[in-house]
Structures are given as C-alpha cells and as structure tokens.
Amino acid sequence: MAITHPTSYNSIFLFLATFNFFFFFEYSSATYINVINYGANPNGQFDSTMSFLRAWSSACKSKEPSTIYVPQGIFLLKQVTFWGPCMNKIDFRIDGTLIAPLDYWSLGNSGYWILFMKVNRISIYGGTLDGKGPSYWRCRRGRRNCPVEARSISFSWSNNVMVNGLTSLNSQTVHIAIDHCNNVVIQDVKIRAPSGSPNTDGINVQFSTGVTISHSTIMTGDDCISISQGSTNVWIERIACGPGHGISIGSLGTNVKEVGVENVTVTDSVFTKTENGVRIKSWAQPSNGYARDIVFRNLIMHNVYNPIIIDQRYCPGRQCPHQSSGVKISKVSYEHIRGSSASPASINLDCSESNPCLGIKFEDINLTYLKGSAKSSCRNAAGNTIGVVIPRGCL
C-alpha cells in the first residue's frame, strides 16, 4: 500500500545534504570531542552529567564547528541543560544509550530531562534515550506525591535544529518537545512507550515555525504528534502512528488569549489501531485562538476509532467548562483518506456553536466500519465535498 508523493525528494535531498556535512567534518579541522575524554563512563552506573556538560562547554566555545561523540555504552544522565548561544554549529553523534536515573526524584522538578536552550545550529544523529518512565507512571497512577513529569529531550528558544535517527523509549511524558524554535527537522526517529502510559506524547510542537517531521515510527500512550498553540508552517510526512491517540492539533483554547495554529500539513502517513486518526481539539470556553490552513492528505487508517475528528468540546477530565469554544477553525482539507474505522463514527466534526468550522473540504475518502455501516456527523460545519466520500459527507 505504498503511497508515492513528490515531496519525498525533499527528504532525499536532506539526507544527501546531511551525508556531505559529515564528510566535510571528518576531513576538516572541526573540533572532535569524545565524552569519554571528559570523564563520561559507559557502565550505566556512573553519573556522566558533569562530563557531558564539560564536553558541551568546550564545543560551545569552539570557533570551529564541533562534533561531540558519544560512543557505544550506557551513560547515566541526570537533568542536563545544554545552554547556547554557542560560537559555531554543534553535532552530537551518539552511538550509545543515554539513561535517566531510576529514582525519578533525582531529575528534579524542572519538567525536563535533556534540554537544549537558546542554541543555534544543533544536530543530533543517532542515539537511544531511555527516560525510565515506568516507575514514574506508577507514582502518578498511585496519586502519590510525584515530581513534575520530565520530557525526555527538549529544544527551547533554539533555531536550526535537526534530530536524525534518534530512538526514544519510555519518556515520563512528552518524548521530544519543540518550544519557541525556528527551522526544525526531525527525521527517522523511533519513539516507543506502552499504549496505556499516561501523557507520553511522541513529539509536541508549540510556539514554533518551520517544523518538518518525517519518516518516523511512533508508538505511545498519547498523541503520536501534538501541534499546540503558536505553531506555523508544520510539515508532517510518512509517519507510522500507533498505538497512540493519533496526530492532534491542540488542545487549543486553553487560554483566553492564545496564538493559533496555521499552515499544517499531514501527508502520506499510516495510523494503526489508534484512538484517533487526525484530530483538531479545543476546550469549550472563550478564546481568540484559531486553526487554519490545515491539510490532511494521503492517509491510511487501520482500525482507527475516530479516523477524522474535530472536537471543540474537548474535556478529558472531570471539570468541563461547558461553554462554546472561541477557537475558530477554517480551511481544513481532508483528501485521499481510506481504510477502516473501529467505530461507526468515522467522520465526526463537532464544531463550536459560536464559531462554526468554515471551509472544510472532503475529497476522495473511503472509511469503512468493519461491523456495520460507517456514519459521518457534522455539527456547525460548512464546506464542500469533492468526488466519492464514504460514508457520505455531512457538510
């Protein structure tokens, strides 16, 4: 069921560009820093945090581009923030595994495990992160006193970020967090956490522009990818999502004043046994937020509970606001989407009464319900239908 799309050339080009990049480094006078020479120990017991920070400090001061190399082995890291700005670009090349401490209290309460802050031109190649989530999730489920959940790897206020070939396992919460960044490429990553694990989003993007996420496999207990407020120009391509809650825009409308989400494309992706396929969600309360110019194209659903869903009365907890969502949703296209739904509600648009969804487009959709006939439902939504749409479009 391969789908071809001309944009895959972009990734090939990127791949080649990255490749040349390496060779350039190998044969130039770039600074090459092996964390072992800074005292890091690959035995998985010794705390290598200070060694990594010393290696970072050398790289950050270097006027030449530098490569920080992490060889094979297991490196124990506590909370670590790699601060910029730095003098030149820095590559992390990781052959080993970075593990968080088993005792989640020793990560502190910052909400971060590995954080890159105010860095320009940072690339991570390879590596495995093990966030040691299970003990933390047990704490959460027991409703005991737990520290703030720590995202595994985060980039904040950074530009020109690349993450290539990373594997991230069992983060306490979001695996990869992009916040206030420009020009980010995430590709060939593998993310894995059990389907029941709480809040373990694969990748979260907020307040960022120019973000490409492609060729990745994401299996989690929450959203495979979530695009939150203030995200623009986001391109998501060739993602295998599931288990998990699908690819979501939102939750929006958390705040009365909010920067919206604009120009997001999700294409050439497959969803397997996820709770949702493509979802836009907002809280039912006043907000000046919005989601517009959104394209969902060339998608395959395998036994997905809600393949196409807009939920403007989103409320997973107990105290729901029960008002009308102020978030304006417009110009959303659903094109070439097929496969199976695990519930009869394969198309479900539940838009705001006060701000109906406008400019919705359905084109060439075939979603079947294995145990009966699939239904589509639209509340407060307007737009047009092109070509065959099964179940029959409700616009």
Ligand X SMILES: *[C@@H]1O[C@H](CO)[C@@H](O)[C@H](O)[C@H]1NC(C)=O
Number of residues binding to ligand X, judged by CB under 6 A: 9
**Cβ closer to ligand X: 34 or 368?**
368
Query: CA 155 to CA 203: how far, in whole Å?
Result: 11
Catalytic positions: 245
Q: What are the C-alpha distances in Å from 250 to residues 204, 268, 342, 354?
A: 10, 21, 23, 19
We find the least distance from the C-beta atom of residue 6 to ligand X, in angstroms, to be 14
- The reply to whether 368 sits near ligand X by the rule CB under 6 A is yes
Place of tokens 């916040």: 179
- The reply to whether 183 sits near ligand X by the rule CB under 6 A is no
Q: Which of residues 213-252 bind ligand X (CB under 6 A)?
A: 233-235
**Cβ closer to ligand X: 128 or 183?**
183
Query: CA 355 to CA 312: how far, in whole Å?
Result: 10
Q: Which of residues 265-294 bind ligand X (CB under 6 A)?
A: 265
- Choose among 161, 140, 273, 264: nearest CA to 218: 273
We find the least distance from the C-beta atom of residue 388 to ligand X, in angstroms, to be 5
**Cβ closer to ligand X: 102 or 388?**
388
**Cβ closer to ligand X: 71 or 210?**
210
Are residues 232 and 251 in contact, defined by beta-carbon separation less than 8 angstroms?
Answer: no
We find the least distance from the C-beta atom of residue 294 to ligand X, in angstroms, to be 11
**Cβ closer to ligand X: 224 or 300?**
300
Torsional class of 65: left (φ above 0), alpha (ψ -120 to 50), beta (otherwise) = beta
- Choose among 188, 185, 240, 192: nearest CA to 208: 185
Query: CA 94 to CA 34: how far, in whole Å?
Result: 10
Q: Using CB atoms within 10 A of its CB, is residue 27 exposed (0-12), middle (13-18) or buried (19+)?
A: exposed
**Nearest 5 degrees, angle CA 348-CA 351-CA 357?**
105
- The reply to whether 81 sits near ligand X by the rule CB under 6 A is no
Reduced to 3 states (helix: H, G, I; strand: E, B; else coil), residue 55 is: helix
We find the least distance from the C-beta atom of residue 300 to ligand X, in angstroms, to be 11
We find the least distance from the C-beta atom of residue 318 to ligand X, in angstroms, to be 37
Distant-in-sequence, close-in-space partners of 329: CB < 8 Å, separation ≥ 6: 280, 282, 290, 291, 292, 310, 312, 351, 352, 355, 357, 358
- The reply to whether 388 sits near ligand X by the rule CB under 6 A is yes
**Cβ closer to ligand X: 77 or 295?**
295
What are residue 170's DSSP bridge partners? none
Q: What is the 3-state secondary structure (H, E, C) of 285-324?
A: CCCCCEEEEEEEEEEEEEEECEEEEEECCCCCCCCCCCCC
Structure tokens at 96: 């080993």
We find the least distance from the C-beta atom of residue 82 to ligand X, in angstroms, to be 27
Chosen residue from 192, 366, 377, 379 binding ligand X by CB under 6 A: 366
**Cβ closer to ligand X: 386 or 388?**
388
**Cβ closer to ligand X: 99 or 270?**
270
We find the least distance from the C-beta atom of residue 55 to ligand X, in angstroms, to be 34
Alpha helices in the chain (DSSP H): 8-26, 49-61, 133-141
- The reply to whether 256 sits near ligand X by the rule CB under 6 A is no
37 DSSP 8-state letter? G
We find the least distance from the C-beta atom of residue 366 to ligand X, in angstroms, to be 4
What are residue 301's DSSP bridge partners? 271, 339
Which residues would be at the binding site for ligand X (CB under 6 A)?
A: 233-235, 263, 265, 366, 368, 388, 390
